Amino acid sequence: MATLATLVSLLLLGVQTQVRSEWTYSEGDLDEEHWPLEYPACGGRRQSPINLQRQKVRFNPALTALHLTGYGDDQAGQFSMTNNGHTVQISLPSSMRLAAPDGAEYAAVQMHYHWGGASAELSGSEHTVDGMRRVIEIHVVHYNVKYESYDVAKDAPDGLAVLAAFVEVEDYAENTYYSSFISHLANIKHPGQSTVLSDLTVLDMLPEDLVHYYSYWGSLTTPPCTENVRWFVLEDSVKLSRAQVWKIENSLLTHHNRTLHNGYRKAQPLHGRVVEANFYHFPSQRSEVEFLLHRIENNIQYLVKALAPKKAKKQY
Query: Does 81 fall in a domain?
Result: yes
pTM value is: 0.84
Region 115-142: what's the mean pLDDT? 90
> pLDDT higher for 290 or 61?
61
| Confidence check: pLDDT of 10 > 50 | no
Domain assignment present for 111: yes
- Give the integer Cα–Cα distance in Å for 222 and 126: 11
pLDDT at 297: 72
User: Is 104 a residue whose pLDDT tops 60?
Assistant: yes
On whether the CB atoms of residues 44 and 35 are closer than 8 A, the answer is: no
| Whether the predicted pLDDT of 149 surpasses 90 | yes
Q: How far apart are CA 136 and CA 151, in angstroms?
A: 28
In this prediction, residue 307 carries a pLDDT of 77
Q: Which domain holds residue 200?
A: 27-278
Which residues contact residue 3 at a Cβ distance below 8 angstroms, ignoring those fewer than 6 apart? none
Q: Please check the confidence at residue 125 and state whether its pLDDT lies above 80.
A: yes
Residue 311 lies in a domain: no
Query: How far apart (Å, rounded) are the C-alpha atoms in residues 69 and 117?
Result: 33
Instruction: Identify whether 195 is part of a domain.
Output: yes
Contact 34, 40 (CB under 8 A): no
pLDDT for the residue numbered 16: 36
pLDDT for residue 55 is more than 80: yes
**Is the pLDDT confidence value at 133 over 90?**
yes
Is 9 among the domain residues? no
- 44 in a structural domain: yes
Concerning whether 86 is annotated as a catalytic residue, the answer is yes
Catalytic residue among 86, 139, 212, 294: 86
The answer to whether residue 214 is domain-embedded is: yes
Average confidence score pLDDT of the chain: 87
* pLDDT tens-digit series, residues 159-215: 999 999 999 998 878 999 999 999 999 999 999 999 999 878 999 999 999 999 999
pLDDT of residue 119: 63
**Which domain CATH number covers 254?**
3.10.200.10
* pLDDT at residue number 298: 66
Number of independent structural domains in the chain? 1
In a domain, 83, yes or no: yes
